[in-house]
Structure 1
Amino acid sequence: MHDPITYALLLGTSASCFALIAQNRHLRSALNAARHDADHDALTGLPNRRALVAHLNGLLSDRKRPVSVIMLDLNRFKDINDEHGHATGDAVLREVAHVLTELRMPRAFAGRMGGDEFAVVVDGDDDLSRAYAHAVADALNHRMIMIQWQTFGCHASVGLAVANNSHRTAFELLHHADIAMCVAKERGGSVQEYRPGLTIAPRTGNHRRRYR
C-alpha cells in the first residue's frame, strides 16, 4: 500500500489528468462549433457563401466530373419584408432551406449565398443539373407557408450555369449563374440556363451583386 503522502500525490495527479482531458474535450468541442459556425448560415443552418465558394473551387480544380451551379432568388421577397416584417421574411427563408434539404439531391451541395439568394453546386452531368434546376423551381413554386394566418409562397427565379473550360474560378461560374437567374426573373420566373451572349437589362443589372 502507498503511504498517505504518495496516495495523495497520486490522487492529485489523477485529478489533474482528468481535468486536462475534460478541458481538451471542451476545447475540441468549441473549436468544432466555431468551424461549423464559420461555414454555415445562422438563420437557415445551410452552408454559407464561404463554404459554397470553397466547395465549388475544389470541384473546378479537380474536374473529374462536370460541374454546374444553380442560383435561385425569391420573387417579391422585398415586398414580404416591407409589408409583413423581417420575422416573416426569415420564416420564408427557413422554409426555402427546408425545401432544398427535403429534395435530397445526390451529388449536390446547397447553401445560402445571402439575402434571399441560394445556390446549389452540382457535381454531375448537364442533364442531372437541368433536372435539379427544374426540380428546385417546381418544389418552391408549389410550396406555401402559413404565418400568423396568412399564406405566403416561395416562388423563385432559377438560373443555371454549366462549367466549361473557360471557367477557372467559382466566381466566374457563379457570375454566369447569377446572370441566368436575373434573366429568368426578368421573364417572370421559372428556369433559365446561361449561354454566351446572355445579358441583363440595365435596370436589373445595376442592382446585382458582382461575383468577383
Structure 2
Amino acid sequence: MASFLRQQARLGQHTLLLTTAAVPLIGWTVHALALHRRLAAAKRDPLTGLLRRDTYTARARQILRRHGNDTTVVLVDQDDFKAVNDMLGHPAGDAVLAATAVQLTAWAGPRAAAGRLGGDEFAVALDLPADRREQRLEHLVRMLHTPVVLDDGRTVNVAASVGAASPDRIGARDLTRLHRAADAALYHGKHSGRAVLATAAHAATPSVNGRRAGRPGTAGWGRAA
C-alpha cells in the first residue's frame, strides 16, 4: 500500500511539472499566432485585402522566375473613379475598390499575386500563357464592368482600363519593364472597354520611376515597381 501511494505521489509530481511547463508554452503559442496574424495583416491593404505594393512585388518576381515567358503582368485602373468619390462620396468609392479586389482575386486565382498599388490602381502577376491570354483578359474586362450595389441600395456603374505585358511579347523578364509596358498599354486603350497587350514599343515609352511619363503619381512609384 505504501509503495502504491509513493508511486501515485511521483505521478502527481510529474503531472504537475508537465502542466506547469505547458502554461508558458501555451502562452507563447498564442503570442506567436497573434504575431503571425499581425505580420500577415501588415502585408495586405486593409481596405481591399490585396497585397501591399512591396509584398506584391516580391511575389510577382517569384512568379516570373518560376513561369518565365508564360507570366503575364496585368495593370488595372478604374475609369472615372474621381467622379464616383465626388458625386457619391468616399464610402461609395471604397465599395468600388473592394468590389474590384474581389473580382481580381476571383479572376486571377489563388496562385497569382494580386496587389493594390495605391488609389484605384491594381496589379496582378500570374501564370497565363499566350494561347489563353487574350480570352482571359477579355473575361477580366467584362468582370470589371459589373455594376456595384452599395449598402443603401444605390447602384454604381463602373468600368476599368486594363493593360497587360508578358516577357514573350516585350523581350524582357524584368518586372519594372513589364509594369512600364503594361502601364503604357493601359493608357493606350484607356476608356476603350478592352484590354491592351503591350508590345516592345510600349516598353520603350519614356517613363519616370517605371511609369509612363506624365502619369499622375509618377514621383511616388518608387523602386518597388
Smaller-chain TM-score range?
A: 0.7 to 0.9
Which of 20, 23, 28 matches 1:19?
23
Aligned equivalent of 1:124 = 128
Aligned residues of 2:50 and 2:115 also touching (Cα < 8 A): yes
| Partner deviation per Cα, 1:90-138 (whole Å, 9 max, x = no partner) | 1111111222233364754333222111122121312323222211111
Aligned equivalent of 2:216 = 207
TM-score for the superposition, normalised by structure 1: 0.82
Aligned equivalent of 2:35 = 31
Which of 157, 176, 185 matches 1:180?
185
Q: Which moved more, 1:155-164 or 1:175-184?
A: 175-184
In 2: Cα distance, 1:85 partner to 1:56 partner? 33
| Partner deviation per Cα, 1:29-73 (whole Å, 9 max, x = no partner) | 023212311322211112222222111211223445511111111
In 2: Cα distance, 1:211 partner to 1:57 partner? 16
In 2: Cα distance, 1:167 partner to 1:99 partner? 28
- CA-based RMSD of the aligned residues comes to 3.0
Matched position secondary structure for 1:205: coil
Compared with structure 1, are the counterparts of its residues 208 and 177 closer, same or farther at alpha carbon in structure 2 (3 Å cutoff)?
Answer: farther
In 2: Cα distance, 1:56 partner to 1:109 partner? 6
Matched position secondary structure for 1:79: helix
Aligned equivalent of 1:58 = 62
Unaligned runs of 5+ in 1: none
TM-superposed deviation, 1:86: 1.6
In 2: Cα distance, 1:111 partner to 1:128 partner? 22
* One-letter amino acid of the structure 2 residue matched with residue 96 of structure 1: T
In 2: Cα distance, 1:20 partner to 1:65 partner? 50
What is the 5 A alignment of 1:18-167? 18-63=22-67, 66-103=70-107, 105=109, 108-164=112-168, 166-167=171-172
Identity %, equivalent residues: 29
Aligned residues of 1:158 and 1:181 also touching (Cα < 8 A): yes
Compared with structure 1, are the counterparts of its residues 11 and 108 closer, same or farther at alpha carbon in structure 2 (3 Å cutoff)?
Answer: closer
TM-superposed deviation, 1:179: 1.5
Compared with structure 1, are the counterparts of its residues 9 and 106 closer, same or farther at alpha carbon in structure 2 (3 Å cutoff)?
Answer: closer
Matched position secondary structure for 2:172: coil
TM-score for the superposition, normalised by structure 2: 0.77
Aligned residues of 1:65 and 1:124 also touching (Cα < 8 A): no
Q: Which moved more, 1:6-15 or 1:60-69?
A: 6-15
| Partner deviation per Cα, 1:125-152 (whole Å, 9 max, x = no partner) | 1232322221111111133323424211
TM-superposed deviation, 1:10: 4.9
In 2: Cα distance, 1:133 partner to 1:79 partner? 25
Matched position secondary structure for 1:122: strand
Aligned residues of 2:161 and 2:186 also touching (Cα < 8 A): yes
* One-letter amino acid of the structure 1 residue matched with residue 103 of structure 2: V
In 2: Cα distance, 1:39 partner to 1:154 partner? 27
Matched, 1:192 2:196: yes
Aligned residues of 2:96 and 2:148 also touching (Cα < 8 A): no
Q: Matched residue pairs, number?
A: 209
